[in-house]
Structure 1
Amino acid sequence: MGSIVVSNLGKAYKQYDNRWGRLWEWVLPFLGARHRLKWVIQDVSFQLAPGEAVGIIGINGAGKSTLLKLITGTAQPTTGSVRITGRVAALLELGMGFHPDFSGRQNAFMAGQLIGLTVDEIGALMPQIEAFADIGDYIDQPVRVYSSGMQMRLAFSVATVKRPDVLIVDEALSVGDAYFQHKSFERIRQFQKLGTTLLIVSHDRAAIQSICERALLLDGGRLASQGSPEQVMDYYNALIASRDGAGVEQVVTEAGRTRTSSGSGEASVSAITLEDEAGRALETVNVGAAVTLRIRVRVHAPLERLVLGYMIKDRLGQQMYGTNTHHMDMALHDVAAGEEIDFRFRFPLNLGEGSYSVTTALTSTETHLGDNYEWRDLAFLFIVMNMNRKQFVGTSWLEPHVEILR
């Protein structure tokens, strides 16, 4: 069983004002330092228990890839320490360690030895590597003729041909085609069930939330948040939207879930209800029932353009359906301060049994990354129950009409 302990980890690079500064510092050290430190990672601490799956998220440049290099030992920390137990397999930069003039087979032997396999083991496992990579005759061609997807297939196949105690994956999997992504994540899930500790960097919200039990958010090289994938993803979205100066707030609800909100406050949602065809408010809804999502918005300042969006998520925070009035060609223009606007969205609730939440967004454009007036996660909660439909499984009710011809 593998584990990871990261303690006060930091990485800084020396920056010089000109190309001679490094030379003078080396030749005349008694004159003092001629550099300044640029911190990429600073004061990062966390632990992964054996068998735990943790995702790392953050904007480009937040320090995610540098953190993984420090953990795997391909870069040395300036401060702090990393302690790993068990055999480690890592997929960092795509094709890292591959020699372009060697064949895929030769690179597989070299890459396999780098993760601790013997030549005899690699030879015995080569049929499995070839089968999983599924690159055909290219296995005996130079890697320089490979596409990025083919390099990723071979690298992942070698790294995971034998189940590691710890698997560390950067965003390399996003390069592959849909089929191979599905196959790769299925192998990762199998490793999880067998006790592999997983650390993964990805911008894929669904992947993080379906695989990981916990998530870490890096921002500016520091650990900004950690918790459940839903909580951290919601905070991440709010943080992106708050770059223009709007604040981010997180509140723990009575049910123990964390509600995240952000925005500049020019408009806000004052009430949300889910109603049946007679206008009665609902908290529990039958599968497939006709409902109206009613959202009341109060405007606090004059707005040239107002867009309301909503997203329905399941209990894990995975997105079921979302849209907004921009995409519906129903954005409002020249909205006055003090106005109260009633939005009503009517649709059949073709969701499977379970608990769901509604996220709302008030913006001026199609996303909340422009003018973010208000973004609110867990704005409304409801439960879907199967009261009179035939039994089915899944998150969507797609009952078919069946014809059987013999």
Structure 2
Amino acid sequence: MSTISVGQVGKAYKQYPTRWSRLLEWFAPFGRERHSLRWILRDISFVVEPGEAVGIVGVNGAGKSTLLKMITGTTMPTTGSISVTGRVSALLELGMGFHPDFTGRQNVLMAGQLLGMDTGEVMTLMPEIEAFAEIGDYIDQPVRMYSSGMQMRLAFSVATARRPDVLIVDEALSVGDAYFQHKSFDRIRSFREEGTTLLMVSHDRTAIQSICDRAILLDSGRLVKIGKPEEVMDFYNALLAERESYAITQRVLECGTVQTVSGTGEAVVSRIELLDKLGRPVETIDVGTTVTLRVEVVTHAPIPTLVLGYMIKDRLGQPIYGTNTQLKEHIVSNVESGKRVLYRFEFPANLGEGHYSIATSVASSENHLQNNYEWKDRALMFSVVNASHPHFIGCAWLDPFVTVEY
């Protein structure tokens, strides 16, 4: 059974005030300590079950890569314990272990042996590795001639040449082009279907939410939140906009999902409705129906510039469409405290069948990271059904006019 168990793990590095302090401590190991500890990670605990996919997110410096290095055994934890069962394949630093003066083929042989394969097995897999990497004749050129994307292609191809029990992937996949990213994620998905346990670090919300069962949020070396990917990513986005006076709250809605709200509260959405052509509130609409999103904002402080934005998301929390009043050139200025501002957005709901949510943002510009008065996920939930159009697949209704010529 391929599991990853992390218990009360911490990682600290020694810091010396001078190089002489380090030297004195070496020569007098039983004397007083001359260093201080800088903690990178503290009290990290979680378990990844067999066949589960878990994503790790957090700002740069949160300790994500350090955690992966400890799990793969390339560095040791200062405190706590880590247990990994099953055959592990890790893709951490780009091209890690590749020798720049050796050819790609020679590096494949060495990397394969480091992964526990013998020479015969690597040679048997070589044609498949070459075909997946798609670097052509460069396979017989020194790696120093490779671009970062080519190194990533070859490294990923070797690491996934045979299905591992546990696959650990750092941010390396972000270097590749869009074509290879899709190709790589397709292979990861196929591994998942066959039972591979996955642990990955990524800043890509789409990747985390489409592949992972759970997500872990690290901040300043501590585990802040663990839960469903959309819930964690919503909290992460709110955390990015946090300032001293900002507040982040989460509550469970009647439907069982978690709503994240952040901001100063100086201006908030007091009411939101989706209306049909007759002005009646609706929760279910037909594909292509023209609807109006009605949003009422209340100010609790003087607001120099008021910008309202909204984003339609699918059931997985992936953005479908978003805009705001600054982009639409309808900015409201110098709003006094206690005022109500009413917005109406009319649009055709050219969406596929499914369940959707609307997130709202009240800020002073199109970027909610600056003066975030309120960001509210799942401010409104609605469903789309196909009652009057031919069957189609997807999240958007892009009905074509078809002509055929012989």
TM-score (norm 1): 0.98
Cα deviation for residue 30 of structure 1 reads 4.5
Structure 1 partner of 2:292: 292
Structure 1 partner of 2:272: 272
**CA distance in structure 2 between the aligned counterparts of 1:230 and 1:69, rounded to whole angstroms:** 26
**CA distance in structure 2 between the aligned counterparts of 1:13 and 1:40, rounded to whole angstroms:** 8
Structure 1 partner of 2:213: 213
Structure 2 partner of 1:383: 383
Cα deviation for residue 207 of structure 1 reads 0.7
2:374 aligns to what SS in structure 1?
Answer: strand
Structure 1 gaps, min length 5 = none
Report matched runs for 1:155-194 at 5 Å.
155-194=155-194
Structure 2 partner of 1:124: 124
How many residues were matched structurally? 406
Structure 2 partner of 1:337: 337
TM-score (norm 2): 0.98
Structure 2 partner of 1:152: 152
Given the superposition, is the C-alpha separation of residues 110 and 18 from structure 1 closer, same or farther in structure 2, using an over 3 Å criterion? Answer: same
Cα deviation for residue 234 of structure 1 reads 0.4
**CA distance in structure 2 between the aligned counterparts of 1:323 and 1:110, rounded to whole angstroms:** 50
1:282 aligns to what SS in structure 2?
Answer: coil
**CA distance in structure 2 between the aligned counterparts of 1:134 and 1:73, rounded to whole angstroms:** 30
Alpha carbon RMSD of aligned pairs, Å? 0.9
Cα deviation for residue 361 of structure 1 reads 0.7
**CA distance in structure 2 between the aligned counterparts of 1:88 and 1:243, rounded to whole angstroms:** 40
**CA distance in structure 1 between the aligned counterparts of 2:30 and 2:236, rounded to whole angstroms:** 46
Cα deviation for residue 27 of structure 1 reads 2.0
Structure 2 gaps, min length 5 = none
Structure 1 partner of 2:6: 6
Matched-pair identity in %: 63
Structure 1 partner of 2:203: 203
1:242 aligns to what SS in structure 2?
Answer: coil
1:381 aligns to what SS in structure 2?
Answer: strand
Report matched runs for 1:16-27 at 5 Å.
16-27=16-27
Cα deviation for residue 81 of structure 1 reads 1.1
Report matched runs for 1:1-400 at 5 Å.
1-400=1-400
**CA distance in structure 2 between the aligned counterparts of 1:201 and 1:82, rounded to whole angstroms:** 18
**CA distance in structure 2 between the aligned counterparts of 1:115 and 1:375, rounded to whole angstroms:** 46
Cα deviation for residue 111 of structure 1 reads 0.7
Cα deviation for residue 18 of structure 1 reads 1.7
**CA distance in structure 2 between the aligned counterparts of 1:31 and 1:200, rounded to whole angstroms:** 42
**CA distance in structure 1 between the aligned counterparts of 2:69 and 2:243, rounded to whole angstroms:** 28
1:365 aligns to what SS in structure 2?
Answer: coil
**CA distance in structure 2 between the aligned counterparts of 1:330 and 1:104, rounded to whole angstroms:** 56
**CA distance in structure 2 between the aligned counterparts of 1:327 and 1:65, rounded to whole angstroms:** 37
2:243 aligns to what SS in structure 1?
Answer: helix
**CA distance in structure 1 between the aligned counterparts of 2:310 and 2:4, rounded to whole angstroms:** 39
Cα deviation for residue 329 of structure 1 reads 2.2
